[in-house]
Structure formats: C-alpha cells, structure tokens
Chains A and B, each alone.
Chain A
Amino acid sequence: MSLAFLIEQLLNGLQFGVMLFLMAAGLTLVFGVMGLINLAHGSLFMIGAFFCSWIGEVSGSFWVGLGGGLLAAALAGAVIEIVVIRRLYDRDHLDQVLATFALILILSEVTRWIFGDQPLYLDVPPLLAGALPLPGGGGYPIYRLAIIVVGLATAYGLYLLITRTRLGMRIRAGESDREMIGALGVDIRTLYTAIFALGAALAGLAGGMVGVLQSVQVGMGEPVLILAFVVIVIGGIGSVKGALVGSILVGLTDTLGRVFLPRLFALMLPTAEATAVGSALASVTIYLLMAAILVWRPRGLFPVGA
C-alpha cells in the first residue's frame, strides 16, 4: 500500500464528510431553532441536483446550473415552509415525521413527473477537470478537492454568519428562547422561513456538486439523509460544530472502513471470505460508531441546551 493510496482515501473520506456536513448543517439548524425534525431534507438535496443538471444543460454552463440548483432548492424550501412546515412547529415529533415523510412521497413523485424516470448525468466543469499529482505517483481529481474547499469555506461562512451578523444573532436567540425573541419584536415567521431556506440552499448546493460524481435520480437524497441523521445524532442535535465534527468522523470512518476492513481480514482469512466479512462489517461501522458514542454520551458529542 502506497502513501499516495492512503492520501487518496483520506481525501475521499474528507470529501464525503464535507458533503455530509452541508446536509447535516441545515438539519441541525432547523432542529436547533424550530425544534423540527425534517425528513424531507433529502428531497431538497435531490431538487438541487436535478435543477443543477437541467439548468446546466440548458445554459451550457455548470456554474449557472449550480447557482440555479441552489436557488431552486432554497425556493422550494421557502415554499414548503410556508405551506406545510409552519403548521408543524407546535406539533409533536411523530406528526413532524409523518408530515415530512408525506412530503418526500409528494416531492419524489412530482420530480419524477417533471424530469422522467431516466437518471441524468453531469459533466465535470472544464475548469476543474484533471487531477493533482500526489506524492508517490497517481493523482487526485481536482473536482473532489474543490468540493472539500467549498464545503470547508461554507462551514467557515456559516460560523461567521452565526457569530457575527444580525441574522446569526437572531438564530442564536431563537435557539435559546423562541418565545422571547418573538416578544422582543423580531418577525419570527420570516426568520423561520429564512432559516429553512438557508438549510435548503445548503442541501441544494451539496446535491448540485454531488450530481457530477453520481447519477442524478429520484431517491438519491435518502441514503444521504439517513447518514446526515447519524451525523447529527453523533454531533449533538442542534449543534453546528457537532455537525462538522460528526460529518468528518462519519465520512472518514465509512470510507476508510470500506477500503481497509477487507484488507485487514485478508491477513487472517482466505480472500473470498475476508472480502465478504470485511465488506459486511464495513457497511455497518458508522452505525456501530454511533451506538458506541451514544452509550458513552447519550446526547451526542456537543450536547445543546442540556
């Protein structure tokens, strides 16, 4: 095993983690401020990916497509919040789960209606084509590096937004006492819509960027959504910092587990069995990680408002 291979896998894990962060950040913000569990977040990811590839194809520019996908997801998020989600803030979690599950069914079917059953594909934008050489030979796709950079920049931007701006101040105030900031004259309805749309935009951004790496199809948001749940459970629901740490942890564990567990078992078992046992175990490592962390800390690594 070469150094280049190790670096490549570490970067893959980081890229996956950063992508998960974009999803988890929106989920955790919405839960932290509005106390809402939103299963339909994966559908916003899907909407971002579909609009990115569609607008990208029509306009001929990936960048226009990415912007369009992000806007479409934000817009869809705002509309969903105003029409449905708003009615759920005072309900219990069971109602929220069911209503947002219903939204998934509706959004998936409408997307299938508009875009058809065929998966769409996106090309790597020419600016980011090619690979960066790694020490010891081989190369790493620049596009994946770009995702890491965009993800980390977004995390930093989110940090600045929450700690340095007026909107961020209101978000923090909303997290600690919802009723009070309403009483202080902040238009809480608009604030909620804005936060929901922000989370949706992040999901749309993730969807658009991932559309290049995988096929764009209905249901693509669901595996990512469940991993994002694992991330925020590990990080502590409501904590953006926890979401960042959790997503990098999950991204690295999952990627490295898939690569190295079969090899590890190959030291002890015949190849065929080692591959079978290793890959079976690799598919469950992150859930075992989650269980272990919960036994240790039932409210996640960075518990919010204990």
Chain B
Amino acid sequence: MTNGLSREQVVNGSLLALLLAAPLIAAALDEPFYVSLATRVAILALAGVGLNLALGYGGMVSFGHAAFFGLGGYVAGIAAFHAFEESAFLTWPFTIGGSDQLLVVWTVTALVVALVALAIGAVSLRTSGVYFIMITLAFAQMIYYLAISLPTYGGEDGLSIYLRNQLPMGDSAEPLTFFFVCYGLLLLALFVSARLVASRFGAALQCARMNEVRLATLGIAPFPVKLTAFVLSAVITGIAGALFADLNGFVGPSMLSWHRSGEIMIFVILGGVGRLFGPLAGAALFILLESFVGGFTDRWQLILGAVLLAVVLFARGGLIGLLAGKLRHG
C-alpha cells in the first residue's frame, strides 16, 4: 500500500467513527432512544466479534453461541437479583452473595462462560462439519431448557434487573456513559482479535481451518488451538450478553434461544465472514433494518429472511466485501 491505508481500513475507521458520532448527536438532540439503539449495536457487534473468532478465523461453525450470550445475561441478572434481595446464591460450602458491580459481574461471567465453553467445546470439537453444527445447537438448547426449569430465576418469564449493575466511577444508569462502556469493550475486543489473528496462535488457528493435517504435520496439535479459540470466542460473547441484560434491565430464556444463535451468526455473515469489522457492519445493518423496516411493517422477519437468503446466495463477501472489495490472500 503506497498511501498507508487500505480501502478496508478506511471502511473500518468510518464505521467506528459513525458508531461513536451517532449517540453523541442523539444525546445532543435529546433523543435517548437512539443512544440506546447505538448501545445495542455496540453490544451485538461485540457478541459477533466473539463468534467471528471461532467461525470466521477458526472455521468452527458454532450454532450455539446464544448459550454463552444468555449465560452472560443470567450471570448479570442473578448477581443483581441476589444483591437486590440481599440473599445468597450459595450458602454451602462457602457463601456467595449477589453483586451490583459491573467489574465483578464481568469477571464471574468470564469464568462461568469459560468453564461451560470448555466442557461444550471439549465434546463438540471431537467432531467436525455438520456434526459440530448440530451438537453446539443441541447443547445451547440444553441450557435453554435448564434456564426454563429454574423457577427461582423466573423460569419461562425471565428475571428483571431493577438497578443496573454499577461502575467503580461514573453512573452506568446514564445512557451515554453506558454506551461508552460498551463501545470501549467493543474496541478492546476488536484490538484483542486483531492482535490474536496476527500472532503465531492466530496463524495456527487459521491453518486449522484450512487444513488440520498440515497443521499437525508442522508439530502443532489442532485440538488445543481450536479449543482455546472456542473458549475465548465464548467469553467475548458472554460479556456481550452480560451488557445486553444490563442494557435491557431484563434477562430471559429468549436470550438463550436458538434464534439468538442464528442472529449472532447473521451479524457475522451480513458483515462478511473472516473480516475483523464484519460483525460491527452486520450488527449495525441488522439493527437499522430491524428498527426502520420493523417501524412500518409487522413482516420484518420476512424481509430479514429475504435479505439473508440473497446475501448467502449472491453476495458472499457481505457488507464489508461490498464496500471494501474482495478478501485478499497475501
């Protein structure tokens, strides 16, 4: 590149700038709805960045990322529930109470999601291809039914979060502040993804997608590489889930449903598979379509289906592919 910036970098930079500018302008015009809309875009893009790591770079078509998204949501919800009730989550063998601190919620989310993803990944990654798709779907469904069968945490009705979990400084209930938190985490996840993909580990991961045998011949076992990427991908999506629950003040089984898994996958595909900023472009397009098309017709799902079908059949590079040209193989 002679001028230093590729077309894709310009597109990526513009996307980030647009996402930052939108809520600032909305806040200046006193339109809180659009601030919350931009926050949704940032959170869902974060979930997509997580999935993209497994799906786009690792070639692991996980159809169960709603499990991690929902788990994050439930951690936030359950922590807030016990903090509000001043009751304990666990009394034996040691006492674990609730918490209304975002930093605590995120840490616990990361731990819980990592453990669950480790178990799910260890079983699912023994298989590949279509088996992997169906098994991740089935495990997500298992967690969905488990959530429904827990009456303490709302069962089918879900759980309300009366007070948004708090930051050590600043007021998280203030819409613009919460947007900056989500935006900051999105930037962090994008940065981590970019560094990871460019690292030795990232090279091994992408090689595992293209040819596992070749990777093994190089002396690197594919399984641990893929499992690590799967867990990391799940944790990022889980944090997004915790933010989503806090944004809505509610967590329910719908966050775990397989439609949600499909949606997160749609963000990645609409934006462009294996593009760092694909999930951001996809989530933004999805939310814009949903709120504006959904505004004048009830048949929004029909339009979404048609758009998705058209992208899959005819426009495989997604939105970033359309704006920045085909993926180059160096």
To the question of whether A and B form a pair in one complex, the answer is yes
**A residues bordering B, Cβ < 8 Å?**
31, 37, 84, 87, 93-95, 97-99, 101-106, 108-110, 113, 222, 226, 229-230, 232-233, 237, 276, 279-280, 283-284, 287-288, 290-291, 294-295, 298-299
Our pick among A84, A108, A113, A283 for the contact of B146 (Cβ within 8 Å) is: A283
Closest to B139 in A: A287
Contact partner of A298 among B127, B273, B306, CB < 8 A? Answer: B127
A102-B308, A283-B145, A294-B126 given; A113·B265 CB < 8 A: no
Which residues of chain B are near A299, meaning CB under 8 Å? Answer: 127, 131
Which residues of A lie under 8 Å from residue B1 when comparing CB positions?
none
Q: Do A233 and B138 touch (CB < 8 A)?
A: yes
Which residues from chain A contact B322 at a C-beta distance below 8 Å?
A: none
Q: Report the minimal beta-carbon distance from B299 to chain A, rounded to whole angstroms.
A: 6
Q: How far is the CB of A151 from chain B (nearest CB, A)?
A: 22
- Which of A94, A103, A279 makes the CB contact (< 8 A) with B61? A94
Least Cβ–Cβ distance between B146 and chain A, in angstroms: 6
A–B pairs, 19, beta carbons within 8 Å: A93-B61, A94-B61, A98-B308, A99-B312, A102-B309, A103-B305, A105-B304, A105-B305, A109-B299, A229-B138, A232-B134, A233-B131, A237-B131, A280-B149, A283-B145, A287-B142, A294-B126, A294-B127, A294-B131
Docked CA distance A226–B148 (Å)? 17
* Contact A106–B309 (Cβ < 8 Å): yes
Contact B312 A102 (CB under 8 A): yes
A231 to B148, alpha carbons, bound, how many Å? 22
Contact A97 B61 (CB under 8 A): yes
Closest 4 CB pairs of A and B: A105-B305, A287-B142, A106-B305, A102-B308
Choose from A93, A284, A288 the contact partner of B133 (Cβ within 8 Å). A93
Contact with A along B303-327 (1 / 0, CB 8 A): 0111011001100100000000000
Residue from B63, B130, B149, B266 having most chain A Cβ neighbours under 10 A:
B130
Please tell me if the beta carbons of B273 and A290 are within 8 angstroms of each other in the complex: no
Residues of B within 8 A of A (CB): 55, 61, 63, 123, 126-127, 129-131, 133-135, 137-139, 141-142, 145-146, 148-151, 258, 262, 265-266, 269, 273, 299, 301-302, 304-306, 308-309, 312-313, 316
Task: Please judge, given known A-B contacts A97-B133, A298-B126, A298-B127, whether A105 and B313 are in contact too, CB under 8 Å.
Answer: no
User: A226–B141 contact, CB under 8 A?
Assistant: yes
Pair B151/A102 contact, Cβ less than 8 Å? no
CB closest chain-B residue, reference A99:
B312
Residue of B nearest to A236 (CB): B131
In the assembled complex, the Cα of A113 lies from the Cα of B137 at a distance in Å of 28
Say yes or no: A294-B258 contact (C-beta < 8 A), given A102-B305, A237-B130, A299-B127. no
In the bound complex, CA of A257 to CA of B10 (Å): 57
Q: Give the residue name and chain of the A residue nearest to B270 (CB).
A: A98
Contact between B63 and A97 (Cβ–Cβ < 8 Å)?
Answer: yes
B302 touches A109 (CB 8 A): yes
Interface of B is mostly: helix
Give the chain B neighbours of A102 by CB distance below 8 A: 304-306, 308-309, 312
Kindly list 14 other residue pairs between chains A and B, CB separation below 8 angstroms, not including A109-B301, A237-B134.
A31-B130, A84-B309, A87-B313, A93-B133, A97-B265, A99-B312, A99-B313, A102-B309, A105-B302, A105-B308, A113-B302, A222-B258, A287-B138, A291-B123
> In the complex, which residues of chain B have a beta carbon less than 8 angstroms from the beta carbon of A99?
308-309, 312-313
**Complex interface: chain A residues within 8 A of B258 (CB):** 222, 226
Provide the residues of chain A in CB contact with B301, threshold 8 Å.
Answer: 105-106, 108-109
Residues on A with beta carbons closer than 8 Å to the beta carbon of B148: 283
A84 to B139, CA, bound (A): 29
B residues in contact with A97, CB < 8 Å:
61, 63, 133, 265
**Minimum C-beta distance from B259 to chain A (A):** 8
Decide: A284 and B142 in contact? CB cutoff 8 A.
yes
Judge whether A98 and B126 touch: CB under 8 Å: no
Contact assessment for A98 and B139 in the assembled complex, using a CB-CB cutoff below 8 Å: no
Residues of B within 8 A of A37 (CB): 130, 133-134
Residues from chain A with Cβ under 8 Å of B139 in the complex? 287, 291
Name the residue on A nearest B122 (C-beta).
Answer: A295
Contact residue among A101, A229, A233, A276 (Cβ-Cβ distance under 8 Å from B308): A101
Among candidates B130, B149, B309, residue contacting A279 with C-beta atoms closer than 8 Å:
B149
Residues of A within 8 A of B302 (CB): 105-106, 109-110, 113
Known pairs A105-B304, A109-B305, A280-B149; A93 contacts B138 (CB<8 A): no
**Known contacts A102-B312, A109-B302: does B145 contact A226 (CB below 8 Å)?**
no
How many angstroms from the CA of A57 to the CA of B153 in the assembled complex?
42
Instruction: Assess A103 versus B145: contact at CB under 8 Å? Given A113-B299, A229-B138, A230-B138.
Output: no
* Contact of B309 with A280 in the complex, beta carbons under 8 Å: no
Contact yes or no, B127 A101, CB < 8 A: no
Shortest C-beta distance, B147 to chain A (Å), equals 10
Residues of chain B within 8 A (CB-CB) of A84 are 309, 313
Contact B138 A280 (CB under 8 A): no
CA distance A105 to B289 in the complex (A): 15
Residue from A95, A103, A290 within 8 A of B135 (CB atoms): A290
Query: Complex Cα distance A84/B312, Å?
Result: 11
Q: How far is the CA of A265 from the CA of B220 in the complex (A)?
A: 46
Chain A residue nearest in CB terms to B314: A87
